[in-house]
Copies of this chain bind each other. A is one copy, B any other.
Amino acid sequence: MPGTSPEASENRPAVARRALLTGGAAGVGTLLGLGAGLGIPALRDRGTPQAGPPGGVDPSPEADRSSGIGGELPGFGGEALPCHGAHQAGVTTTPPAAHARYVSYRLRPETDRDGIRRMLRILTGDVEGLASGTGPLADPEPELAARPARLTVTVGVGPGLVDRVDPLKRPEWLAPLPPFSRDRLSGQHDGGDLLVLLQADDPLPIAHAARMLARDLASFAEPLWTQQGFRQARGAEAGGTTMRNLMGQVDGTVNPSPADEDFDGLVWIGGAPEDASRDGRGGAGAWLEGGTALVLRRIRMELDTWDQVDRPGREQTIGRRLDTGAPLTGGDEHTPVDYEARNALGLTVIPSFAHVRRAHSEDPDERIFRRAVNYDDGAESGLLFACYQRNPLRQFVPIQRRLDELDLLNEWVTHTGSAVFAILPGFEPGETLGAALLE
């Protein structure tokens, strides 16, 4: 860690160049040496990062003082979430962070198995430094890292990375999704070899973390695409309602909860017999025990034409009320949909091709854990639909096949980007992300 003597900085040359981090002991040594000259007394003034319980809700008094505006008490910026554990942070973090950034990288041609090992070692240190608020090694702007605002950094690997290590270790599902007839993939937001998912309640630490990771990954991989999204700002909540998407719909009501008994079996890869075999070759998924499969879909919304549909039309399209998110068959947001209920004419209240009906499956294993954020880059807006599951071929794909075939909502949504990543298992202090892949 950098020293804390503010005077040290006075004796340094005006503009010195610093070696870029290229991995390897020599580089790290140089950086530590330079780091000793950094004087960062401001860091001593910041609120000590608070490690919340696994659920992510910070019970400290600080959390109750975060009303913020104009106040002199430290806000939530100082809150830090633990990055260690059986699973990576950022998948089930509750409540979900207000801002998310997905950054996909392509490995450089020369990054071989050893390079991947070095890359994951550096990435592990960066995740630890960024999540805790101390910043990664030789962070040139430690002040931007010091208030992580519940920053999580979640790392996933794509098919190309696993193939470069050992094609036999690649699970069948770790591949581009089978094509859907309505897909209009632009090629701008598809796939990649490495995913870094940054989430926090403040966009500033995300921007800084993304830059630090890009710096440290630069010799191993190059950025392929970035997608940014948001939920309602932290502290703005009305309380009790699920996120709204830009169509105005309550989005994500029916979703397994990490507290559910069957959640682990749906979401976390557990080394179950079916995980351990792939085409009879065996063991393809063992290195992923504690990880999960992420499907990320960029869903463009045709809001101009959606706005021309009246409210009853929209509610029938979805099968839920727009105001409360309750099913058209009654109750509140969390009341189960009654797919059999009929109106006076004998027709089902939920139309045959309503979104909720087409997305619903009678098979309890055909469920996914959703984490969507809105995106709006000025030119285009929609939903970055993310879901986690043990096996996309058995969970996301059958659901999406039904929607792709028939869904009233299809007139106003278009899937323009698609990616599948294996989210690496969690790690403990002293361990390295993805170590089991490289064993």
Contacts and interface: CB of A to CB of B under 8 A. Distances in A.
Interface of A: 6, 9-10, 12-18, 20, 34, 37-43, 45-47, 57-58, 63-78, 95, 98-99, 101, 103, 140-141, 143-144, 147, 149, 201-204, 207-208, 210-211, 215, 223, 225-228, 230-240, 244, 246-248, 303-304, 306-313, 315-317, 322-324, 351, 374, 376-379, 381
Contacts of A306: 140
B308 A20 contact: yes
A325 to B, nearest CB: 9
A281 to B, nearest CB: 38
In the A-B complex, list the 10 residue pairs whose CB atoms are closest, starting with the nearest: A226-B378, A141-B248, A77-B236, A68-B235, A42-B323, A202-B233, A15-B313, A12-B312, A207-B376, A235-B235
17 contacts: A38-B311, A43-B323, A47-B238, A57-B69, A69-B235, A72-B240, A77-B233, A98-B233, A101-B378, A141-B322, A144-B244, A144-B248, A149-B233, A204-B231, A204-B233, A204-B374, A226-B379
A143 to B, nearest CB: 6
Q: What is the interface of chain A mostly: helix, strand, loop, or mixed?
A: loop
Contacts of A310: 12-13, 15-16, 18, 34, 37
A141 B247 contact: yes
A144 B323 CA distance: 10
Nearest to A73: B239
Nearest to A57: B70
Nearest to A41: B323
Given A204-B233, A228-B378, A74 B12 contact: no
Of A17, A230, A235, A247, the most chain B CB neighbours within 10 A belong to: A235
Given A15-B316, A147-B232, 18 more contacts: A10-B312, A12-B313, A14-B313, A14-B316, A15-B317, A39-B323, A41-B324, A46-B238, A58-B69, A66-B235, A74-B238, A76-B236, A77-B232, A140-B306, A143-B244, A147-B238, A149-B233, A228-B377
